[in-house]
Structure 1
Amino acid sequence: MYEVKATHLTNRRGLACEIYPEVFVVEGGAVLSTYAGPANGRCPCDPLPPDVDAVFEIDDAQLERAVHWATSIYRPRKKWRLSTAGAVPTGAGAPRGRDADRRAPRSPTCPRVAAAALAEGAPPDPAAGHMQRENRKPHDGPDCGASYHAPMVVTGAPSDDLAPRWSGHAEVARWALGHGYDDRPYPFTRDGLTQFKADFPLGRCGLYLFECTNHDIYIGIAKDVAQRLPYHLKKHPDVRTFRFLPHPGDERERRTVERRLVRDAQRAGLIVRNREHASGHAGPSTLDALITQDEQTAWLRDPIGVNAGDRSALVALDPSQLAAHDGDFRRLREHPRYDTIVEALGVYAARCIPFPRRTEASFWTVSCFPGSNRRRIFCVSMAALETFYIAVSDTSDTITAVLFVDKRHLPAGRWGRALLAARGVMFDDEYTHKSGGAFEQCLIVDDIRSLRSVLKSRKVRRAAAAFNLDLMRKRQSAYKPSHCRQLAAAALEAAGR
């Protein structure tokens, strides 16, 4: 983006800058010329009053169109010659009077003179003239006055020092078009949003997709996409372009479509920055303050070994919370299979929860006899999801264990499932969470007595560990008030024996 000083007003009272004699760039993306289109030789703009000081931004594409007009469409009736300072036209052909003030070129660092330099000496092909942006700083030109124009270096040949222009990834574009998004990506700039509003003056309700510098994407919904998009800049300052998919239905329908698109994008191999519906979490995490990223990587390689070496003390909890769950824990202690139940939670914590002593009560919680389901004995939660629970059967004395894992790490194919079935594992492909991500898989273990055998499978442990770490990196547990410290401490003690 380049910031230019407004010199004129269009007949619609929009700001314009005469970037080259008779060629104007207009706030919002347009380019006008006295010698093109309906202007038919008449100036399409009026000079600004001398007491008005205004600036606006133009982008690379708008500047290139202005250069193209200056080098091909514009045909000056009298040849001008720029002085060595690039500021004062001389000779008999110089304009006089009111036109002299309007047509006078600006300083050499102004985009207007850059375009003039290209028109005078560079080939018409914009690729042959290269413009490099430098740090913006105030510039006092001979005629511009104090302004914040972006200084540019104009050369006649390619330079290795110039950074290549960013462009969107072909796979992102292919996926977006295949899922109904508009075929035109808008630049994530003020001009891009202005153009989007002009293209969609009404009906901006729907889904959007934006692409970042490293080609990560984010998919969202909004009643007015133009109003919603700027709020993403604080968390995603590297966003470059966005696309729009109209969807006038109610919010529940849009949320369902959003969830499906996020998961489809991940399955297609795209990197998705969404938290709610995506698997995994890109970027910094609050977990990093408790467990460094190096520790997380080491843990994922060897969960059992790393957990065995962690002897962190459990965090202190409010006495009121301890008292609130004491009755449920006393009830559990009276269960005939109490030892087996506590052992099951201890085995799961030791093999599948990152640093269970350090993260207990913050990034993972366990509820004892949760009131939301009368059949459940306990339920482990991370972020906003349940990851492991056990429940009694209404028809037998078995206690079923249910785990949610990342299917990408499970054995593949029919034989892989058959081997897990021999350990007492069933795959439930229908039981998933709305926020579980694209790769969530539900595993049902016929009885908790088989859980230790199931978790001897390296692939199952890896699938559960990866799923849990991804959730912890998203946020802390949403169920802290339901956490039963007594049950967690008993399970961790059993795992350490």
Structure 2
Amino acid sequence: MPVTIRSVDDWADGWEFRAPVSFADVRRSALPTDGPKRSGWYLLSFNDDTYYLGESVDLRSRMGGHAAKWGDEIATVRLLPKAASKQQLRVVERSLIRELRAQKIPLRDVVHADVTTGRDALEELLSDEMQKLWIRDPRGVNARDTTPLKDLSEQEVRYSTAARRFSDLPESTALTALLRTFLEACVPSPRATEFQYWSVSTGTYGGSSFLGDSASASE
């Protein structure tokens, strides 16, 4: 029995995906440039009744990548925004893809969520030009990054005891300085990639994330 769009919508409703939005308008309506950066999952519906299930730490940027790859082949998109790490997003993505495949939904995903097409994860955060600049001057590019720090209050509560024990260590100041040096010189855009791509479980003190001001980071 052929799979109908209605059956896919029922499945998406069950997972609480948002209502379908025209793909041509999604970045203007649901993911505006002046709005917050959103991570989560999405379901693309194509004009030939095929689908693509994906995840991203920056849904707006990801939509741009798909627009460049498939253009007007995409009819609609359903979003499921969720604050989650890249690892968490991928785990759930695999489960969602398995469910859709079990229902014989025709997917354009290649083999599994472990294989991605189009833009890679780093390109969601840094353009090709910015990546070239970072290779030439990582410290300079990172220093100019003004991405707002993430609200990690939930993690602060969860790891408060570990953070206190770390701060009580006589080596804590030197270790924090070493970690900061590594992030500033070796991690592309650490302010933008914090939590989704890297984290230090004992690196939250006094309500500020690890990349906050120097005083809070070294307390």
How would you bin the TM-score normalised by the shorter chain? 0.3 to 0.5
Larger proportion of helix: 2
Larger Rg: 1
